[in-house]
Amino acid sequence: MSNRESFDCINNWIKECVAHCKSGVPFILVGNKCDIQKRQVSIEEGKACAQKYNCDFLETSAKLNINIDKLFELIAIKMTDSFLLNLQRPIEDPVSLEDRHESIKCC
């Protein structure tokens, strides 16, 4: 929440992730340094940005240990949910065991 320039780059970063990652990768928007007095990004802007990208939003402070545990718990939940969802999807390029050829001995 302390760096407007960084916040303004979120759109580009998400586009890069979408372009290079498998679909369904979860995002969490994290506003760090919520303990500082001179904010450059408001809570409302963070929430609106997260809503735009349909992701969770959390403000943290590593210095004061605010929401750090909650962030790691949220990451674990998102990773688990994503893993379980991927298990339910059909394999795009399955391996066929029927096309096996007799093994060739090397010796």
- The pLDDT tens digits of the residues spanning 13-36 come to 988 888 888 777 888 999 999 999
Lowest mean pLDDT among 1-5, 47-51, 57-61, 99-103: 99-103
Overall pTM surpassing 0.75 (yes/no) = no
Rounded to an integer, what distance in angstroms lies between the CA atom of residue 47 and that of residue 56? 8
Rounded to an integer, what distance in angstroms lies between the CA atom of residue 21 and that of residue 24? 9
For residue range 57-99, what is the model confidence (pLDDT) as tens digits? 999 999 999 999 999 999 999 988 888 777 766 666 555 556 5
Tell me: pLDDT of 100 over 70.
no
Rounded to an integer, what distance in angstroms lies between the CA atom of residue 65 and that of residue 11? 27
